[in-house]
Amino acid sequence: MAKSNLYKGSLTTIILKLLSEHDKMYGYEITQKVKALTKGELQITEGALYPSLHKLEAEGLLEVDVAKVDNRLRKYYKLTEKGTTETVNKLDELERYIATLQTLINPKLSY
C-alpha cells in the first residue's frame, strides 16, 4: 500500500480529516501522524505533502500560523471555516467512493 501511491487521490481528504481532529499541525507532524495511525502502512511523501498543503492554503481551506520553536520557525496549518465545511464534503465523497469500490471488488451476486 505504502509504495503503490493509491492514496494520492485522497491525500487532501486525509490532510483535512487530520486537521479537523487537531487544532493545528505542521508538515512533519502530519507525515508522522499518518505513519503512526496506519502503523507504517501508509507513508505520505514529502514531495506530495507540501504541494497539497500549499494548494489547500491557496484555495482558502487552510490558514497558517508561525511560531518560533528550537532556533527555527515552524509553520502550522489549521482549517478555515470554508475548510471545515469542505472536510465534511470530501469525507462524504471518499466514503461513497470506497463503497463503490467495495461493490466492484466484492460484488454481491444474485441468482
Partner 1 sequence: MALTKEHIDNLYAFTKKHFVEYYDLQTELVDHLANDIEVIMAENSKITFEEARDTSFKKFGVFGFMDVVEQRQKAMSKTYMKLLWNYAKDWFRLPQIIGTLAIFFLLYAIFSLQIGGYMFVGCYFVVCILLLVRTISLRKEIKSKLKKSEKLWFLEDIIFKNAMFIIVLMGPQAGQFINLVDKFDGYIPLISAFIFTLLIIYTYITAIILPKNATFHLQEIYPEYNM
The contact set with partner 1 (CB under 8 A) reads 26-28, 45-47, 50-51, 54-55, 57-59, 64-66, 68-75
Tell me whether residue 6 or residue 101 sits nearer to partner 1 (CB atom). Answer: 6
Cβ at position 65, least distance to partner 1 in Å:
6
The set of long-range contacts for 101-105, using a CB threshold of 8 Å and a minimum separation of 24, is none
Q: Which three cell numbers stand for residue 29?
A: 507532524
Radius of gyration in angstroms for the set of CA atoms belonging to the chain, rounded to a whole number: 16
Tell me whether residue 17 or residue 74 sits nearer to partner 1 (CB atom). Answer: 74
Tell me whether residue 21 or residue 70 sits nearer to partner 1 (CB atom). Answer: 70
Cβ at position 91, least distance to partner 1 in Å:
23
- Map residue 64 onto helix, strand or coil: strand
Cβ at position 39, least distance to partner 1 in Å:
17
Cβ at position 95, least distance to partner 1 in Å:
27
Tell me whether residue 38 or residue 57 sits nearer to partner 1 (CB atom). Answer: 57
- Map residue 111 onto helix, strand or coil: coil
Residue of 28, 10, 7 lying closest to 77 (CA atoms): 28
How far apart CA 50 and CA 2 sit, in angstroms, is: 18
